[in-house]
Amino acid sequence: MKKQIHAFACLIATSVLILAITQSKADTYGENVVVVGNLKCWARVSIPGITAAGKPISGTYVPVGPSAGARLNGSWSGENPPYDAAYFFRAKMEIGGEQIYDKTFPMGGTTGSTGSTTGTTGSTTGSTTGSTTGTTGSSPPGGGSPPGGGGAGLYAMQGDDELSLDEVVAQVLENEPEIAQLYGPPGARFASNHFNHNATVTVKLTCYYALFKNSVWVASTSVVTQIDPKAYNRLAAWNTTVDINGNAMPSQVQQNIDDLMSVGKNSFSSAKYQVPGATVLTKAQILAELGESTGVFCNTHGSASGLEDSTGYNGNSTHFMSWANIGSATGAGNPSETTPEHSWVIAYACDTLAGGNNPSGAFRLRAVDGVYLGFPIPVSNLVFSSSGGVVPFDNHASALFGYLNEGYAVGDALQRANADYIPIGGSLQNPIPTPMQSRGDLYTTWKSVYLTSGERPGRADAQGRFTQWYIWFDEP
C-alpha cells in the first residue's frame, strides 16, 4: 500500500482533533451532509438571524440564502476512490409546504442503465439518506470533462505522488478541499405574514448532484435540509377616550374613534397579525405591548415628543410616553433576541412628525420593510372626501388598507389614500388639508413579498401592484 495511504490511516486512527474538525463543517444549523464514499455532498439553507428552530421571522422581507457543494471526504482511507468529483445540478425549495421552485441546470449527457447505492448522513441538523443512481455511459457536463476539472489529483490521496504526514494533516485542516461548482441553488424571498403568527414555517431545500468517475457521470445523489423559524407578527393597538382637556369624548366622536380602530385591527388581522382585544390601555400596558409587537396602530393624542395612552392629554407624565420611554420598551439600542423589529407604525395622532421629526428609531423600525405613518400638525377625526363633503377618519384608513391589499407599496398606497380622503388639520373653523406623511421605507408592503425599487417595475403590473407572497431568483 502506498505510503500516503498508511500515513492517512494512521492520522485518522490517532487524531480525535482532526476528526472533530472535519465533522464541524456539518454542525451548522440548516446544513446537511451526505457521505458517498470518498466524497461529501452538502446543502445549506439559511435566513439571517435564524440560528435554531423557533427563532422569529417578521415582515414581508424574509430572504432565503441556499447553497450547495461537494468536498473530499477526509475520513475515507481506501486505495481506489469510487468517484472523482460531484457536481450540483438541480434544486427544489419548499416554504411552508408549498413548492417555490424546481430548477435544473444543464449538465449534458444521456441516462444509461440504473444502479443504486446508499450514502450515509453526516452530523447535521437535517435528516436524509443519500441515494445514488448509476447512469453509465452518460457524458459529463459540457460534453468534455466534468466542470472544474476532475480525474486524477482531485482527491488528496489519489495518484502516485507520495504525501508526507504533515502534508496530509495540512489538507485535512483545510476543512477538506471543496470541489469547484458551476451552479448553485437559487435564492428566494417571502412574506412571513403569509403564515399565522407563531406558526412554524419550514423552509426545505433538496439538492441533487452528479457523481463522476473517469469523466463519466456514473451516479446521482441528493441532500435534503431544512430550517424551522416561526412567523412573528403581532399588533399593539390603543385609542384615546378623552379630549385635549381630559374630558370624555362626545359619543359621536368616540364612535368615530372606535370605527377607526376596528378598521385597523381588522386589517392587521387579515394580514395574519395577532391582534389584541381591548384597546383602552394604560401607559404601562402599552409599553409592555410595544416590547412584544412588530406592528402598531393607534388613534390618540400626540406631540413631537411622544404619544399619550388612552386617558392621557397635555403631556401628563403619568400617561405620556416619550420616544425615550418607547425606545426603552422596544429595545432600541439593545435589541431583543426574541422580538423582531417593527414593520408598521400607523399613528392617527397629532404632531408626531412635526418639524421633520422621525420617531422610527424609538420603535426599532426595520431599515428595509419598515415605515412610520403620522401627521406633522394637529388633525381632527374627520377628512375631506374627494367626492365631496366631510366624513369620519376611518374612511381614510379603509382606503389606505384597501390599496395595500391590492399590492401597492406603502408610498403609492398612501398617496392614493390621501387623494381619496384628505385629513383635516388645524381646526374645523380653519381647516387645513393635511395628508398623512411617512418616514422610512416607501417600498414596504402589506401582504405581498417586499420588492426593491429595481425589482418592482419588472414584476408589478402596469399600475404598480404585486400580490404574490414570494419570489425566487432564477440566477443564484
Count of H helices and E strands in the chain? 9, 26
Q: What share of the chain is helix, strand, coil (3-state, %, to 5)?
A: 20, 30, 45
Coil vs helix vs strand at 397: helix
Residue 166, pLDDT above cutoff 90? no
Out of 187, 206, 230, a domain closes at: 230
Give the burial string for 24-46 (b: 16+ CB within 10 Å, else e): ebbebbbbbbbbbbbbbbbbbbb
Q: For residues 156 and 268, state if they share a domain.
A: no
**Each residue's pLDDT tens digit, 366-402:** 999 999 999 999 999 999 999 999 999 999 999 999 9
CA dihedral 349, 352, 356, 357 (to 10 degrees): -160
User: What is the rounded average pLDDT of the residues 179-192?
Assistant: 96
pTM of structure? 0.83
Residue of 200, 198, 85 whose CA lies nearest to 147? 85
Phi/psi-derived region of residue 415, left when phi > 0, alpha when psi is between -120 and 50, beta in every other case? alpha
- Domain extent, residue 147, equals 3-230
Q: For residues 427 and 459, state if they share a domain.
A: yes
User: What is the rounded average pLDDT of the residues 13-30?
Assistant: 43
Q: For residues 176 and 320, state if they share a domain.
A: no
**Each residue's pLDDT tens digit, 69-128:** 999 999 998 889 999 999 999 999 999 999 999 999 987 543 332 233 334 444 333 333
Residue 306: C-alpha distances to residues 85, 96, 276, 350, 427 (Å): 62, 39, 22, 10, 21
Q: For the chain, how many residues are written?
A: 476
Q: For residues 225 and 275, state if they share a domain.
A: no
Query: Could you give the CA distance from residue 324 to residue 341 in angstroms, rounded to a whole number?
Result: 16
What CATH number does the domain containing 465 carry?
A: 3.40.50
Q: For residues 253 and 217, state if they share a domain.
A: no
How many domains would you assign to the chain? Answer: 2
Residue recorded with cell 452528479: 210
Out of 230, 256, 275, a domain closes at: 230
Q: For residues 20 and 131, state if they share a domain.
A: yes
Q: What is the pLDDT of residue 175?
A: 54
Q: For residues 175 and 244, state if they share a domain.
A: no
Q: For residues 243 and 267, state if they share a domain.
A: yes
Residue 6, pLDDT above cutoff 60? no
Q: What is the pLDDT of residue 11?
A: 30
Give the confidence band of 178 by pLDDT, cuts at 50, 70, 90: very high
Out of 185, 208, 230, a domain closes at: 230
**Residue 377 has which C-alpha cell?**
400638525
